[in-house]
Structure 1
Amino acid sequence: MARAHSRPVNAAPGPAHVWWVRSVHRPVEVGPGLRALVGSAAEGGGEEGRAGSGVVESAVRAVGAGRTAGVVPRRSGRGGGLTRRGEQLFAEGLEQARAHVALHGHLALAHTGGRVGDGFDLGRWLAGRRVAAASLTAQQTAWLEELDPWWNPPWPLDWQRAWYRAREHVRVNGPVHGGDNLAGVPRRLERWLRHQITHHHDLHEGQRQLLADLGLGHKEVERFHAWPGRRRPAADGLAAARAYAARHGHLAVSSPTTAPDGFALGRWLAAQRVRQHTSGHPTRLGRTLTGLDAWWNPPWPVQWQRMWWTAHYRLAGLPDGCQWWPSAPETERSMTWLHRQRAQRVLLHPGQQQLLDTLPQHTGTQTPALTASGRREVSDQAWALICPLMPRQQSAGGRWRGHRLLIDGIAHTARTDTPWRDLPAHYGPWQTCYRRYKRWLADGTLHQITALTLPTTDHGWQLAVTRRLHRGS
C-alpha cells in the first residue's frame, strides 16, 4: 500500500511525502485507482483543484515513470457489517432449532451428521454454539434455553440423548420403578437405566435430578439394589470374577458362591457357561474369563474341576497371595478323590486324563483311610463322652456290630465326603454303616454327638458330620 509519512511537528508546510512500495507487494487495483485520482484532480477547477492536482502529480512523479501512488480511500461508517452478519446467521440457526424442537422436543443433536434442513446443518451449528457458549449474548443464551434448557449440558451429549429417549418411554408407559427390577422396559433402555443405577453416586447432581423426573429417585435406586434376583451389569460380574481368581486361583465355583459385596458370582458364572454352550462359539466375555482361568467352563462337571484344583494345590502348594476358598476339602479327602480318579482313569474324558497327568505324585505317606486297618477316627477321650449317648445294643436277630466301629465309619465318610459305597472294608459293610447312620439321624443321636464338646483332635470329623447332617445326606 502507499500512505503518507507522518509530518514532523515543526516541519514547513509542503507536499505530502509518499512511501514507495515495490510492485510485487502492491495490489493490482491500486494503480488504476491512483490514475483515476490524477484524472479527477486535473479536471477540478480553482485553487483547490490545482493544489490537489499538484499533490497527486508530485506523488506520481516520486514513484517514477509507469508507477502511480495516492491515498487509499478509507472505510466510512462504524463498521458493523460483521456483527450484523453474525446476528443474521444466528437468527437462521435459531429458526432451524425451533423447527427441530417442534418436531422432536429437544436440541440434543450429535456434533456431526446432524439433521440438515434446507441445506442447513443444525447439528454442526449447535456444536459451534456450544463451543462458543461463553461469547454468546445473554439474549441469545436465553433464546436457546427457552427451546431446550439442556441444549448445552455439563455432561456428555450422548447421555442427554439417551435421557430424552427414556423420557419418551415414561410419557407413554409411566414412571419406571426400581422395585420391579425394571420389568417391561425395552432391552436397550433397560441396560442404560441399570448402568445409571449402578453408578448413581458418580453422576452429576443435574443428572440425578433428570433421573428422578423419570421416576428413579434415591428411594427407587435403593429398592433396585434390594431386589433379590436383580441382574447386574457384565462389568460387575467380571470384576467379581477377577477378584475371586486373584484370591483363590481359579473360577471353578459352586452356584451358591457369592462375592463379598453380595454379588451372586456362582449363578452368574453358571449363566455364562450356559450362554457359551448355546452360542456355539466363545463370546468376548467368555474369552476374558478364559484369560482368568483356562478351565472356567470345562466339558465335565464343575465340581470335578474344583476337586482337581484342590488336589493340585494340596500337592503343589497355594500360589503366592492366594488362600483356600470356603469349604475347601481337606488333604485326606482330596487325596482320596485323586486315588479314585486315577483308578478309573480310562473312564474319564481325555481332557480330564491330561489334567490328572499334570498333577505331581503324592510323595508323602498314603492316607490312613486307604492303608491302616482298624484306624480309629474317634479318639478314646471322645468315645468316653459319646458312649453314654449311644442306644442300647440289640442281642436278637443276629450279630450286632459294635457302635464305635460304625461311628468311625460315619466319621470317615463325612470327613472325606465320599459315597457310602466307597467306605473301606475294615469299617464293615457299607450298607450296615448307612442304615445305622439313618437310624441315629432319625432318633437324634447324631445331633447329640455333634453338640458335645470334644477334644481338639476330634473337631475335624465332628464338624464334617455336622455339615452332612445339615445337607440331610
Structure 2
Amino acid sequence: MLRRRGSCESAFAVAQAVVASWWDAGRRDEVIWPARLGRVCADLPEGEVAVLARDVVTYPEAVAVTTVLCDRLWRQRVLEDTHGQMPHTLAEVPRLLTELARRLGRPWLVEQLASSSAGALFAWVRACVRRERGAVSEEEVWAVPVAHRPRGLAAQLRELRLQHVGSAPVGGRQSRAEQAYQVGLAHARSYAARHGHLAVPKYGRHEGFALGPWLANQRTGVAALPIERAQALHRIDPWWNGPWPISWRRTYHRALVHVQKHGLVDATAGFPGTSLALGEWLHEQCSRYDDLHVGQQRLLADLGIRPAHARSARPRRNSLAQAFAAGLDYARAFAAVHGHLATSKSTRQDGFPLGQWLMSQRSRARMAEKETDRSRALSAIDPWWNPPWPMAWQRAYHHARKQCGSNQLLVPGDGFAGVGASARSWLYAQCALFEELHPRQQDLLREMGVTAEAAQARQTAWYHPTGARIDFAVGLAHARDYVGVHGHLALPHPVQHNGFPLGRWLTSKRGEAGAHARRTPAPWPGMQALAALDPWWFPPWAFAWQRDYHRLRLLLIAGLEPPPKLRSWFSEQLAQRHALLPGQQRLLQELRTSLV
C-alpha cells in the first residue's frame, strides 16, 4: 500500500486514531475483537492484555480504514455528500460510513457513527471540506488533533500498575483545564435550562460568567475537542455547534417558541400570526431553502417548513403597508408632543417601540438609491428624522433648542447664560468645531443664534465651569488658542487659560493616552489632534525637562538673558546629550543654534 500511494503513511496515523477510539469505546456489538484478543493474550500479563494487544488486535481494521481514507474517490464522495458545507455530524457522509461498515464487516457501525460530532474521523471529514475551500494545506488534512491521538501504551501501563498497588486512585485530582471546563459546562446547563438552547451571543454573559466567549472557543476548536467534552455539550443542546451563524439559531428559537404557542407556521398563506420581522425571516429561509445546510432544513421541518412548503411560500407583503401606517401614526403622536423624531433606540410611544421602528426606517432609507414614499411621509413630520450626521447630535440639538426657547437667540460670548450645564457644554463644543460641521448643521445652529462670526469668539470667550465632563472639543479649542500665543503645550498642572483648567485637562489626556498605549498598539483617538498643535505634547521623557526647555526657548526668542539656573541646566544637558533620546538631542541642537 505504501508503494502504491505516498499519502498512506499519514492516512494510517489517522486510521489508527479512529480505530483506537472505537476500541476505547468498547462497543457492545463488537464480536471480532474479543475473539481475536483471546487468541493473542496467552503470553500477556493478565489485566494488561487490553492495553498491550490494542494495536495488534485492531491492525487489520486500521489498514482497511487507511485504504478508504487515502482513496481520492472517497474524498470526492465526502465532498459530494456534504455539498462543500461543514458537516454537523457524520450522518451527512452516509456513503463513507456505509463503505467503512462494509469493509470492516460491521453493518451496525453506520448507526453507531451517524450521530458522532467529534473524534478523529469527524475531524478528518471537516479537514477535507476545509481543504476543498483552500482554508488548510494537504498536510493539515492528515494532522490528528492531540485529543484524538491514541494513548501511549507506556503511560497506560504505568497507570494500571500504580492502580494495582494502590498508589494512583482512579479518578484523581482534576487539572486546571478540566476544572475550568466543568465550570463552563455547569453554566451552559443553567443557560439551556432557562432558554432552551446554547445559541449564546459571542460576548454574552450568564450569571456573571462569560458564557458566549467560552462557547465560541469550544466551537472554534471543535475538531480537536475531546470526544467526552463534545458529547457533554451535545447532550445539553444537539445543535450547540451548528455550522451556521449563532444569530440564525437565535431567530430560529424565537420561531420555535411561536410554533409551540400557536402551532406550525403556514408558509403558503404568508406566515399569518407571526410578527413582521419573524415572518420576513421565515420567508427569506424559504427563498434560499436549497442553499441552506441540511441541518438547517431539518430544523425548519420542525416549524412546518418542508421543501414543498418552501417552494410555495408567500411573503408577508399584505401586512407591511399596514405596519408602516401604524408606525407612522405613532411617529405623528410623538412629534406632536416633542416637535421632532430624534428618538433613541429605547423610545416608546404608547407602548409601541418607536425608537427601534425609526432605526429600521432609517436603515432602509439609507440603503435605497432614491427617496421613497415612506421616507417622504416621515420627512413631512420631521425634515431631519434621518440626518446625515449621528442621531445623538440631533437629540442634543433639540435639547438645547428646547432650553433656549423658540424665540430666544443664544449669545456665545456671554457663555450661553440661562442654558443648562449639559446643553451649555454641548453648545460650546459646537462653537469650537463650527467650521467642521455639516452645512445643514450650521444652519440649524444659526436658527438658535450660533453663527460663524459668533463661533469665532470661542478663541477669546471666557470658560464657565458647568460641573459636567469636559468635552474634548472644548479642551482642544483652548489648547489651540494657548499654542497660538505660547507655541507649545508644556504648561504646568495648575495653569488655566481664560478660566479653563487647561493644565489639568492636558494632564488627564496624557494619562488616557498612556493607559491606551499600555492596552493596545493602536493610536489613541485624540493623539493626532493634539500632536498637530505640539508634536511633543506627550513626550517620552520627563515632563519637567520639556518645561525647562520651553522656558529657555521663550527667553531666547524674546531676546532676554536666561537666568544662571537655566544656563546651568542647558550645559548639563549638552554634557550628557549622548544619553538623551533622539528627540531631546534634536531640541537641544535647535537651542544651541539660537544661542550662537
Question: Which TM-score band (shorter chain)?
Answer: 0.3 to 0.5
Bigger radius of gyration among the two:
1
Q: TM-score, normalised by structure 2?
A: 0.32
